[in-house]
Amino acid sequence: MKDTFAELGLGQELLTELASLGYEEPTPIQKAAIPPLVEGRDILGQAATGTGKTAAFALPILERVGRDRPAPLRPLALVLVPTRELAVQVSEAFHRYGKTMGAEVVPIYGGQDFFRQANALRRGAHVVVATPGRALDHLRRQSLDFSDLRIVALDEADEMLDMGFAEDLELILEAMPESRQTALFSATLPPRIASIAERHLRDPERILIPRDAATKGSLPKVRQTAYIVPRAHKVTALGRVLDLESPTLAVVFCRTRVEVDELADRLGGRGYRVASLHGGMSQQERDRVMAKARAGTVDLLVATDVAARGIDIEHLTHVVNFDVPSSPEAYVHRIGRTGRAGREGVAITLVDPRGHRLLRNIEQVTKQKIAISTVPTPLDVKARRLDVTKGALREALLAGELDRYRVVVETLAAEFDPMDVAAAAVRLAHEASEGESAEDDVHIPAIDGFRQPGPPQGAPPRGWGAPPQARGPRPPQDDDRFHAPRRHEQRDMVRVYIGAGTRMGMRPADLVGAISNEADINPRAIGGIEIAEMFSIVELPARDVDHVIRALRGATLRGRKVKVNRDLGFRNPPPPPR
C-alpha cells in the first residue's frame, strides 16, 4: 500500500503545495483512487462522508490540468455536486490545492446570477464545479463547452439522485465526449447508481472503503448519545444538554422550516447566538449565515436536512437531532458533518418514546451502539456552570494584570477570612454570567424501560466540546416553562407532496395562494412549507388534506399540471413522473 502522496503518481508541483498545506499521509480513499485516476482509468468509489473524497478526485484533475492546458482556455474537467454549498466547498478545495499552478476554477449553481456565471465561463476555466440543474441550463444555452472535456467527477451521486437529478445527470453525461474519463463517488451504491455506472463508465476500477477499515484520522470519530424525552420537554432537555456540552459550534437538525424558526427563537432566549438555515431563505441570506458560522460568531445553526447539505465547517463540534431521522442514511449523513479529519465530534439525538424503534433500526444498519443517557438534572447543569466560572477565573489568574484589584482583597482580608473573600468573588462572578431561573427546577420525567447506563453526567470527558469560557449560555427565561405548543402540534397535521419546486420558480407565496384559492382554505391553517428543487412539502390540517389534493390535481401551478399526494414520509420524495 502506498503511504505517501509522492507514491501516488502526482507531480512535484502538487506535492510541494500539499506539503505547504500540511498534508502528510493520504486517506484510504485517496490511496485507492488517485493512482488509477492519474493513469486515466474510470473509477466507481464508495466511501462515507468526511473520508477525503474531494482530494481523491481534485488532485488527479489538477495533475491533468498541469499536463494538458488547452488554448484557448476551455473546461478540461467538470465536477457535479448535489448542492450549492458543496459546489462552493469543492471549488475552494481546487483553488487551495492548485494555487501555484494557476488553475482556473469556476463554480456554477442555482441562486446566483446566470449571466455573471456565463461571463465567467466565457473568460475561460480549467475546472467547472456545478450543480446538475445549473450545468444543464448552461449546456442548453451553449455557455458551457464540452469540446475539450477530458474528465468528469460525480460527487455524492446518491444525494443527487435523491434530490431528483437523475434525468439531468443522464442528459449531461450523454452530451460529453465518449472518450472522457469518469469518476463516480457515492456514500451508498443502490441499484440506480449501478445502472448509471454500467451505462456511462468504461471498465471502472471499483473501490470500497468500509467505515471500519479506515485508518486513524480518515473517518469521523463521533461520540453518539441519545436522550429519551417526552416531546413536551424536548426544548428544556436540549437546553440542559447544550449547557452541559458547551459546543464550539453545533448544527441542530429539525424536520420543517416552522420547527427551525421556532426552535431558533427558543434557543436564542437561552442566550445562545443562533442562526436559522432552511429552504425558504435566499442564497444571499444563506451565504450570510454560513459566513457567520465560519467566522465563529454563532454558537448554533438550526437547520433542515435539505438546507444543511454541503456544510463543512472545521470547528463544528456537535450535531443534534431534535427528532430521530426517518432513515439510517439521513442519520449517517448528519453525524458525518462532525468528527472529520481526526477531530473528535459529538452526535446527540432527542428521542420521544415512539421513536425508539427508529433508533434501534439505525443501530442495526450502522452496526454502531448509540448510548442512552438520562437528561442532565438541574444539579448537573449548575455544576457545569460552576466549571465554566472556574475556567474563566483560571484564565484571569494566568493572564495576570490583577494589581489594581489587590487593594480590595487586602482591605477585605483584614476584616474577613481570605477564603470567604475569594468565595464571595466567585459567587458574584458566577451569578453575573449565569444567574438563576425558574426552569432549573422543572422535572423531566424518565421514561420507563429506557433508563440505561450511559456516559456519566456532569462535565463532559476531556477533549469533548469547547473548553470553559467566560461567556456561558444565559439561563432560560421564566416563560420558557409554560410555552405555547408549536403550531403544528395544536391540531392533527398531515404533510402533502406537491411535484413543483424551485426549478419551476415556486415560492411559498405561490403555494399558499394556490391552496387558499383553489381549495378555499384559510391561509392561516397552512403549516410548514419546504421547497426543494423538484418538489415541495406542505403541512395541512388532516381534515382538509383530501379536499386540497383533489383541488390541486384539477388545477395548474405555473401553467403545469403537477403530482399531488400525501407525503409518504421518505426523506426525499421521488420526483414527479416525466
* CATH number of the domain to which 533 belongs: 3.30.70.330
pLDDT tens string 393-445: 787 788 787 887 888 888 888 888 888 878 888 777 766 655 444 444 555 65
> Are 384 and 455 in the same domain?
no
First to last CA, the chain: 47
User: How confident is the model at residue 418, as a pLDDT?
Assistant: 82
> Are 81 and 201 in the same domain?
yes
pLDDT tens string 1-51: 566 888 898 988 899 888 887 777 788 889 999 999 999 999 999 887 667
> Are 297 and 317 in the same domain?
yes
The arithmetic mean of pLDDT across residues 336-344, rounded, is: 69
Domain holding 311: CATH number? 3.40.50.300
Eight-state DSSP code of residue 6? G
- Distance CA(301)–CA(260), nearest Å, equals 9
- Distance CA(58)–CA(322), nearest Å, equals 35
> Are 96 and 232 in the same domain?
no
User: How confident is the model at residue 211, as a pLDDT?
Assistant: 55
> Are 308 and 340 in the same domain?
yes
Question: In this structure, are residues 529 and 508 in contact, taking their beta carbons and an 8 Å threshold?
Answer: yes
In a domain, 572, yes or no: no
Question: In this structure, are residues 308 and 89 in contact, taking their beta carbons and an 8 Å threshold?
Answer: no
In a domain, 314, yes or no: yes
- Distance CA(95)–CA(102), nearest Å, equals 9
In a domain, 571, yes or no: no
User: How confident is the model at residue 571, as a pLDDT?
Assistant: 37
> Are 229 and 339 in the same domain?
yes
Q: How many domains does the chain have?
A: 4
Picking from 215, 194, 203, 205, the residue whose alpha carbon sits closest to that of residue 52 is 215
In a domain, 578, yes or no: no
Among 213, 239, 274, give the residue marking a domain's end. Answer: 213
> Are 179 and 33 in the same domain?
yes
> Are 366 and 384 in the same domain?
no
Picking from 370, 344, 336, the residue whose alpha carbon sits closest to that of residue 356 is 370
Give the lowest-confidence range in 71-85, 299-313, 424-438, 502-516: 424-438
Using 50, 70 and 90 to split pLDDT, how confident is the model at 150?
Answer: very high
Instruction: Please provide residue 560's backbone torsions phi and psi, each rounded to the nearest 5 degrees.
Output: -130, 145
Q: What does the block give as the cell for 366?
A: 450502522
Which position has the grid cell 426552535?
263
Q: Is 70 exceeded by the pLDDT of residue 458?
A: no
Give the lowest-confidence range in 190-194, 262-266, 349-353, 502-506: 502-506
> Are 455 and 436 in the same domain?
no
Picking from 50, 22, 335, the residue whose alpha carbon sits closest to that of residue 209 is 50
- Distance CA(442)–CA(437), nearest Å, equals 10
> Beta 371-373 vs 493-498: how paired, if at all?
unpaired
The arithmetic mean of pLDDT across residues 536-542, rounded, is: 89
In a domain, 477, yes or no: no
Question: In this structure, are residues 478 and 438 in contact, taking their beta carbons and an 8 Å threshold?
Answer: yes
Q: Is 70 exceeded by the pLDDT of residue 103?
A: yes
Among 180, 213, 246, give the residue marking a domain's end. Answer: 213
Question: In this structure, are residues 204 and 46 in contact, taking their beta carbons and an 8 Å threshold?
Answer: no
Question: In this structure, are residues 123 and 155 in contact, taking their beta carbons and an 8 Å threshold?
Answer: no
Among 155, 182, 213, give the residue marking a domain's end. Answer: 213
Give the lowest-confidence range in 36-45, 77-86, 278-287: 278-287
Averaged pLDDT score across all residues of the chain: 79
396 vs 551, which has greater pLDDT?
551
In a domain, 470, yes or no: no
> Are 108 and 196 in the same domain?
yes
22 three-state secondary structure = coil
Helix and strand numbers (H, E) in the chain are 20, 18
In a domain, 478, yes or no: no
> Are 351 and 242 in the same domain?
yes
Picking from 168, 55, 41, the residue whose alpha carbon sits closest to that of residue 578 is 168
Q: Is 50 exceeded by the pLDDT of residue 578?
A: no
pTM of the model: 0.48
In a domain, 475, yes or no: no
Using 50, 70 and 90 to split pLDDT, how confident is the model at 386?
Answer: confident
Expressed as residue numbers, the domain containing 342 is 221-375+448-460
Q: Beta-carbon neighbour count of residue 81 at 10 Å?
A: 29
> Are 294 and 413 in the same domain?
no
